[in-house]
Structure 1
């Protein structure tokens, strides 16, 4: 058991707590507390949008209460361009009203901006085989491919990204938004993942940090998922 706070000691709800070894997860409550089953050698990871990821060995929490602090990710403030004022009301109003049409389209579509993550890049087959043909040997890359580490790494990164996108929505939307549409509380994360697959634009908007766009597309998946729930209950 433990509690997660920010640098100022403020409790952080909806932090995703993952047991990487057991492939299980839970979320912190409103007071930042959490509980998750783990063996001493398991790795626990803590993920919340806007904060740096943190990991510890479960052995650090044996026979004691864990107090985890997450650090906020520094965000750059966009540069604001101030229009020149001439004194002519007609000209000045037009200048202030000018809008980048490309930006409007980008915001409407929700194009994701490139975001860099500090990750070890999995070895690719061509990057390993080509040096061998040229008489060179990438020992680490060859080991990663043969042992399956590269494949596992890709799967883990894909899983991490999925959980982070799901957590991004859950940290911003109350459960009632989903439950009033017939989605059981314990299946909300499952529904969000379903919407990513059924309505791919939902995830595109999530990665663009466009919540309004994501929810507008997600609503189209409500009746489809609700029908699946009904069908599964009728088969029991």
Structure 2
């Protein structure tokens, strides 16, 4: 009877572990430069993460979710999640936001000599040749090979053919880890707990100081991720939500953040 209960417990844990799906990929500019600190926002779950220095990202999602990619100075991009996005990398390209240049009108200076003035309207031979060369170059197909992403070993599925698993020992090890975690101090927050903690901070803590600095929601999200990484806020306060302690540690993080980050786009 005990062995049957062990089997049931083990498979329940396994099903829960693999039910969560993630979309991963890379974000680059139109010039194929990796973009870091891009906010990846799942509109349905309101979860937000930042791309790393190589443009890589990973976020929990479901089919038909809409992912939005946001970075200052670039046009926003949105992608609808499909089934293939869970098995292959999602490559996203962000384009620089256009800006207007003041129009300058050039007028020819006429001399009154019709024959001379007509010749001045013709483009020089070198300009004509250069324009023809540029046109031919732009029509050529790109020879650049697109980068390929491979699935990191940490995110790869289990290899069931690698060997047999001792179920009884595996369950005993899980129970031992659970008992050890119950006796130890604060544990590291998982992905869902961290996202829930961010939402609670934005709902229950007065963030008027940051908005008074001209920060928008995107900049506040980036700062929360930075403060959590620096002071382990979600780890320490997700279960015991101490508002004053969180505010004090956020102030300390702010003093460091403004020294190393641009506070405006």
**TM-score scaled by structure 1?**
0.38
Rg (Cα) greater in structure: 2
